[in-house]
Amino acid sequence: MAHPLQWWSRLRGLASSWTALQNHATLANIPHRASDRGYPYILAGAIFATATLALLLLHLTFDFETSARAHHVSGVRLWNVREQYRGLLSDATDEAVDPQTARTRRNALMKELEGILESAPQIDARTYQTVRGTHLATDEFALPDEEIDSFLPKSLHKSAKSSAA
């Protein structure tokens, strides 16, 4: 069964496509009705009708909202796996779990990650380079290690390990 948001997105897409089609039909009728008003009205009606049809075809061909939603869902799922894995590493470092349990949980997380990556939408090289460039530009706003350490358990503090070395 599809996710409820997917159904809602499809319904909204159909409604907006229907509205655009109705607008096109109305605008396509303008040249006929404007024929007794002169050439500028006929030309304006034809331009508006053509633009509306082009926008409708663009909307139907490239479903940007569904693609963005699929990337969002994959990102949320990946973040969840990341947080679970971080927690597992913290527990393993603090020796809160035995090694066999840690391996079992790690393997389960790897299976979950494999499933996410198989169902994630694919991106092309140009999109990857664009996003990568954006990420590098925002790296200057990264938090210092001491501030990150304030959120982590003591066993995962980087500043304590680097000062001990």
Q: Is the pLDDT of residue 9 over 70?
A: no
Q: Is the pLDDT of residue 94 over 60?
A: yes
Q: Is the pLDDT of residue 115 over 70?
A: yes
3-state secondary structure of 46: helix
Asked whether the whole model's pTM tops 0.85, one would answer no
* CA gap 27, 46 in Å, rounded: 7
Please say whether the beta carbons of 17 and 56 come within 8 A: yes
Q: Is the pLDDT of residue 4 over 80?
A: no
**Helix (H) or strand (E) segment spanning residue 16:** helix 4-33
The share of the chain scoring above pLDDT 70, in percent, equals 66
Q: Is the pLDDT of residue 69 over 80?
A: yes
Could you state, in order of their start, the residue ranges of all structural domains in the chain? 15-62, 64-123
Report the C-alpha dihedral over residues 156, 158, 161, 165, rounded to 10 degrees.
150
| Terminal-to-terminal C-alpha distance of the chain | 54
Confidence of residue 25 (pLDDT cuts 50, 70, 90): low
The share of the chain scoring above pLDDT 90, in percent, equals 20
Least confident stretch, 38-42, 83-87, 100-104, 113-117: 38-42
Q: Cα angle vertex 75, ends 73, 79, to 5°?
A: 120
Residue 152: per-residue pLDDT: 76
Confidence of residue 137 (pLDDT cuts 50, 70, 90): low
* CA gap 70, 68 in Å, rounded: 5
Residue 109: per-residue pLDDT: 94
